[in-house]
Amino acid sequence: MTTKSALLHAAIAASLLFAAPAAKAQSIQSTADGYRLSQGLADFYDTAFVMKDAQGQPRVVSPAEAAELLSAYDVVFFGESHRHPGVHAQQQALFRALVARHPRYVLSLEQFERDTQATVDAYLAGKVGENALKEKGRAWDNYPTSYRPLVEFAKARGLPVIAAEAPTWAISCIGQLGPEILAQFTPEERGWVARELNPGTGAYRAKYMRFQSGAAAHGGGASTSPEALLKAERSLAAQTARDDTMAEAIVLARKANPGAKVLHLNGNFHSAAFLGAVERLKLRDPALKIAVIDPLEVDDPKVPAFKAADLDNGTLIQLIYPNPPTFVDGEDTSDWVRALMAKRKASVCKYAPASAAKP
């Protein structure tokens, strides 16, 4: 897809989303175990934003109403269901709408790592082309369709774009060897991970450990051996290092751009229920007004339903069409497993002893 066609595709999708026909007006109906929309979701670009009203009841808001609401916040976290076209189109539409209301915005991205900031800045300044951004900047493979429209919008308006995530290899170091390994980093490398790391506690810790337990069980059974528990603790430390690094990046970006507001994109695990990177940002600046958008893939797009507890996951929840299953029962997944193992091997910590570097 060419740059021109990708931008046109995103612009058309965004314009359609922000001009929903009056006949499609959604309402919410109560069910035995929660709520459902009055109408189904037609396709991946059909979506509904829902918020709690003053009485704590769910209410559908239009994208324009959502933008007006969110423009009052200092930082907006837009959680992703990664690679979902409806989410990415709404991110672009929201960014345009927010900047229209407040011209000074910073775009902060999990999708670029902090050691690539110089490359991102060079691209924004017109000193290098997009090939350098994708190669040296290690852009995600879905950059052209998912993030290019946002970056180009920022570039055209002279808005900063922040590479907010810690480098993958550095997170691998923490996951494999614990946060103590950071003492072996060079000063430059250490600066790519948040200076202040907060341990995972409370609800976020419980949520992450449930996730890890489920993943282990899916792979053949969770273990409670000392080795398995240590591995889980280090995995949590790696996860929270990512959250702290993104939070620190947002704080530094606001200091470098006084008066600017921030739109930050990350996978929704990092921000759902105002946990993860959101709580770590609050630790650094308690006075900040922070909003969260959390996506929810509905089980049945013909009858989109959600529970009351889902409303606690964000200032707004975004009901979206479900992604297709990655695999079906009985499918051969051996090629996928081999590719995953190769990817893990490529991200082994460069400071790991040879014995620890084996996947």
Percent of the chain with pLDDT over 70: 89
Instruction: Count other Cβ atoms within 10 Å, centred on residue 114.
Output: 22
Instruction: Count other Cβ atoms within 10 Å, centred on residue 62.
Output: 15
pLDDT tens column, 291-323 = 999 999 999 999 999 999 999 999 999 999 999
Q: Is 297 helix (H, G, I), strand (E, B) or coil?
A: strand
Residue among 265, 285, 310 at smallest CA distance from 111:
265
Residue 22: exposed, middle, or buried by beta-carbon count in 10 A (0-12, 13-18, 19+)?
exposed
Over residues 41-61, the mean pLDDT reads 96
**Strand 316-320 with 290-297, pairing:** parallel
Q: Would you kindly state where each structural domain of the chain is located, as residue ranges?
A: 3-19+29-197+236-324
**Strand 261-267 with 305-306, pairing:** unpaired
Provide the CA 46 distance to its chain's centre, in angstroms. Answer: 20
Give the right CATH number for 3-19+29-197+236-324 from 2.60.40.10, 3.30.930.10, 3.40.50.11550, 3.10.450.50. 3.40.50.11550
pLDDT tens column, 254-288 = 999 999 999 999 999 999 999 999 999 999 999 99
Measured CA distances, 135 to 6, 69, 189 (Å): 19, 37, 20
Cα–Cα distance, 164 to 244 (Å, whole number): 10
pLDDT score at 229:
87
**Which strand (E) or helix (H) includes residue 3?**
helix 3-17
Look at the block and give the residue holding tokens 């769910």. Answer: 58
For residue 96, give both structure tokens.
């345009």
Q: Is 103 helix (H, G, I), strand (E, B) or coil?
A: coil
**Average pLDDT of the chain?**
91
pLDDT tens column, 98-123 = 999 999 999 999 999 999 999 999 99
